[in-house]
Structure 1
Amino acid sequence: MSKMMHLGLFVTAAGHHAGGWRHPDAAVSDPLDPDYYQSIAQKAERAKLDMLFIADKLAIDDNYGSSFEMTVTHRPSLSAEPLTLLAALSAVTDKIGLAATASTTYNEPFHIARKFATLDHLSKGRAAWNVVTSTSDAEARNFSKLEHLDHHARYDRASEFLEVVRSLWDSWEDDALLSDKEKGIFADKDKVHYVHHQGEWFNVRGPLNVQRPPQGHPVLIQAGSSGPFRDLAAKYAEVIFTAQPNFESASSFYDDFKGRLQALGRSRDDVKILPGTMLIVGHTEREAQEKERYLESLIHTNTGLAFMSGSMNYDLSKHPLDEPFPDIEHAIRGSRGRFQFVFRKAREEGLTLEQVARWYIASRSHHIVTGTPETIADRLEQWFRGGACDGFNLMAPYMTDGLDDILERVVPELQNRGLFRGDYSGVTLRDHFGLKQPVNRFAQTAMR
């Protein structure tokens, strides 16, 4: 059987194109309407997608001019808390994976281990954790901090955080829970373990008060592209989300990351790489191009400036819009990896700050594919067959027509070409991705 691509759905209430929420056909939805999200989840499950993915940020961006007026006025800012939402969606779906973002900078390991273990149990083995370190001072100020941790410190904390969480998931062995009524023994005491972690950032005794998740560990996802990110993800991740605007950058990232896996003794197949990809679908090429141009006309420049300022953790309002994009690569304190391409593009093409802001915010430097279902499938196949990815994290430009175009027209075309599954063959998210169940470290130690 030939290798098939993996497809996730990057879920937002309003779609991903910066102008999409203003489209006349866009759904005007309450970002906390459970029926709306249920409809999206069930559509994606009918299309046999691997998973739903929900991102998260712990603040409304206010870095641009110390105001969030443009963020709130011109771009949907409200969003559901991912774990709560996915717990609700686990009750109305059966097979599709459920991936939530949670920060290692503004949580504690015990909280995260417990919440994702619970979601994995509620969903019968469909949970995934997208591990992020957060980006901005706006988030720090919501957690009693004056400023965000620097890049090195937050990745150092994240590494230790992951070690603690994985230990907590292993603190109950798979067969520790006995529930023996006759003997009055609830659990085998020899198969429930203290963690006794003592490190630079955390001191955690354990054990977890939730038994081991059905998948052993919920699937670990990481999103990014910087050097420190790649080092951390090569050690821990099982799925990678990355922003790669063209085939060359995607292929370079893919080769570099797969090489890092092998250097650590991991198989290239141990991690699936899914670039974020926005699909703008038309019945003809001309219609699709017109749709993209119209969406671009709906972008407000200040939305891009506010979003970039938040992601960079740097206030762009101090620079003139009509002058060349400023040389600030050394000054940003937020996301780094995805902006390396942005800085290079600005230099090479001589773009102004305004031009960069409008280009960036359209898709946040993710890959955009515009065309008919057939030509879009051609491009996705080229990336997949050409060694640039293991699949895609699909992004609808606006809701819900833009999503329906993807699920009802593009995905069937991929299925017809034998590039994507026609039905689920397993029940857990690890089954969908072909990922191994982690060995319990405490059980493994006891066997030695």
Structure 2
Amino acid sequence: MEVTQTVPEKYTTHRVTGEKGKADRIAFPETETEIAEYLLQAAEAQQPIITVGASTGLTGATFPQNGEWLLSLANYRKILALDEETLTLQVQAGVTLAEIQAYLASTAYFYAPDPGSKQATIGGTAATNAGGMRAVKYGVTRENIRSMVVFLADGRKLTVGSLNNKDSSGYDLKDLFIGSEGTLGVITELGLKLRPKPAVTVSVLIGFEHLDDLAPVVYQILGSSLQPAALEFFDREAIQYAEKFLKEAFLAIKGECFLLITLDGPDEESLTQQLEQMSEASESWKKQSFRSLTNEESLRIWRLRGAIGAGIEDVTQQEPLDIVVPINKITATIKRLRVVCLQSNLRAVFFGHAGDGNIHICLLREGLVQAEWEKRLDVVLHQIYQEVAKRGGLPSAEHGIGLLKKPYFREAIDPVKLQVMQQIKQTLDPQNRLNPGKIFD
């Protein structure tokens, strides 16, 4: 096992703020024995330890602050087995989403979760319960993991979940570790739930003049027999960042804000029926345009949608938020938060997953000096999360809490719920050595 005190800069640099941290060493285990040995060494030395993946996270969840030991799973990245009888793909935690997608490309199956960064490791997406654009139909990461191997702080190996489709046998420990951001154990191996690839897909782009015109359409679609695989919203301002970044043009289509919808199905007939149903329903909508996309147009528009965040990062530092509210509160929340940002003299870009209430907000620095940027951020973030809480929302839909959202999480969460979480942490990690200081103190 390679262990070095020279820690690569990508592991000690905060991806969002650019802050420099400090880690005393990093290990790159390749076997379960090496993982257990390193955890035991850390326990004997009473050293905090942080598990790191591809460092694509947006909340500082793997950022080392106090000379922690790092455990990298960069070399623990084998695709172990495809079981077509149970539709399960067994992988090590260091495998990336891109590698999983490439492996499955020649098969009849796909892994449904589709977070923005395809270079994220599968272990990292489990640790944050990542979502993505297909969550509206296929669920987030939690709904797509059958089993996991987890190593506890003292080096013990624990298998959670199973290949069984039903389980009422005691506590559901698998779901406890998913979303725990490395604070309860080290996820090393996963059994992923696969699905047959849909035979046909089509995307539809619908343009609206006002956000208020868009919202009723979302409710109508979700309340119908239609089952969109993706249901995204964005406006022209957001897509312009992606256009400049990718050097690709959006469609010449009427509208200031848009719904991008993907439908899929087992055959052309079922897809045609879905399209006809949507087209008929759209006659009553206050839309400016309705366009069924060709395959080339669909690929281009989805590339642009996926590049909004990268396009913003290319021109300015940003503070990326991923709040979630009940779907019937999306429009009211965005309208209110636009006012909050304007009052704080910060520009913001809004887009996200209309089908599950997940709103992405990018707060733009745009040349502000560090002190002024931090001052305005402090004010606006407290206001944003207060407004979200008023509407029954939560501070994170799919990025986790990490460091950046910790103070707002503490303000939003029920004290009893927080106490129970802290008791679980104390039970599984009594010395508070696994990723200490993340999510809560």
| Fold shared per TM-score above 0.5 | no
**Alignment TM-score, normalising by the size of structure 2:** 0.30
Flag the structure with higher helix content. 1
Flag the structure with higher strand content. 2
Choose between structure 1 and 2 for higher RCO, CA contacts under 8 A separated by at least 6 residues: 1
**Alignment TM-score, normalising by the size of structure 1:** 0.29
